[in-house]
Amino acid sequence: MAISKRVSDRISTALKKYQAILTEARRRDIAESDTVVVIVDMLSDVLGYDKYVEVTTEAAIRGTYVDLAVKVADSVRFLVEAKAIGVELKDNHVKQTIDYGANQGVEWVVLTNGVVWRMYKINFSQPIDKSLVFEIDVLSIGPRDEQAIECLGTLSREGFTQSSMTALLQQRQATSKFSVAAILMSEPIITAVRRELRRYFPAVRIDDDVLCQCIENDILKREVVDSDDARQAHELIKKAIRKTARAKARAEAQSAADSSTPTPAKPTLPIQQ
């Protein structure tokens, strides 16, 4: 989505400010409670939420508490699970965050230690699943980083809608390293590579399975072919291929039907005597 210049400038200016704050906070290795204070300020200064009205601390969820809930006009936009700035975000923290959102029925959740911000969409399927929307390391980017501003702008008070978040997720999924890897191992690409190789080496017999194994084992990193994200991307690409094939078949069937429909003859005017 298009981020307004006002929002973009605010995010850029605030990121520069908080890069210095977070660097000092990490040097002092501040506790989780102090990290939460910084995160609340970032929700206000970077994302534009009113921290006195729209950011709720210690939101109760079925007998337990998530650190923060961002709520606008009585509607919870997303939950935030915070960790101390010196804590590395791990899989058990992700599970904890997803469980909070699933129990509350909130599909957008953030896991952060102030420096690293991860946004997830919860998929209310059986079993409950998740999709990573974006991950930003505030200390490793420039304050005018276009992708960071796009992601944070979509999450901001001005930019957040269900449709804008879904569009951002689809864009990030389509261009992720996992999706690109899945496409490289898809049948059309393997066929295209085999055709090119045979054009250059016509005497060599080239097998599709051998090509696929070569790409998977020797060219791509293990992470992008053997992980939950990789499997999710593989299913996403398979669905997209099937959807495209169905649309093409419908278009061809409609074209054939149109061409076989006889053109009605023009009425013959009576000859006046």
Is the predicted pLDDT of residue 136 greater than 80, yes or no? yes
CB 134 within 8 A of CB 119: yes
pLDDT at 265: 59
CB 77 within 8 A of CB 52: no
pLDDT, average across residues 129-143:
93
pLDDT at 260: 72
Long-range contacts of 7-14 (CB under 8 A, 24+ apart): 7/48, 7/153, 7/156, 7/158, 7/159, 8/149, 8/153, 10/45, 10/46, 10/48, 11/46, 11/47, 11/148, 11/149, 11/152, 11/153, 11/156, 12/143, 12/144, 12/149, 13/143, 14/42, 14/45, 14/46
pLDDT, average across residues 111-124:
95
Asked which of 23-27, 99-103, 210-214, 252-256 is least confident by mean pLDDT, the reply is 252-256
Closest CA to 193 of 175, 225, 219: 219
Is the predicted pLDDT of residue 1 greater than 80, yes or no? no
pLDDT, average across residues 65-70:
86
Instruction: Please give the C-alpha separations between residue 196 and each of 40, 185, 191, in angstroms, as whole numbers.
Output: 55, 15, 9
Question: What does the pLDDT look like over 71-90, one tens digit per residue?
Answer: 999 889 999 999 999 999 99
Is the predicted pLDDT of residue 272 greater than 60, yes or no? no
Q: How does residue 70 score in pLDDT terms, banded at 50, 70 and 90?
A: very high
Share of the chain above pLDDT 90, in %: 49
pLDDT, average across residues 114-120:
96
pLDDT at 112: 97
pLDDT at 160: 95
CB 101 within 8 A of CB 86: no
pLDDT, average across residues 16-34:
96
pLDDT, average across residues 156-172:
91
Q: How does residue 206 score in pLDDT terms, banded at 50, 70 and 90?
A: confident
Residue with more model confidence, 214 or 46: 46
Is the predicted pLDDT of residue 120 greater than 60, yes or no? yes
Domains assigned to the chain: 7-159 (3.90.1570.30), 177-254 (no CATH)
Q: How does residue 238 score in pLDDT terms, banded at 50, 70 and 90?
A: confident
- Global pTM reads 0.74
Is the predicted pLDDT of residue 92 greater than 80, yes or no? yes
Residue with more model confidence, 227 or 103: 103
pLDDT, average across residues 96-121:
93
CB 152 within 8 A of CB 108: no
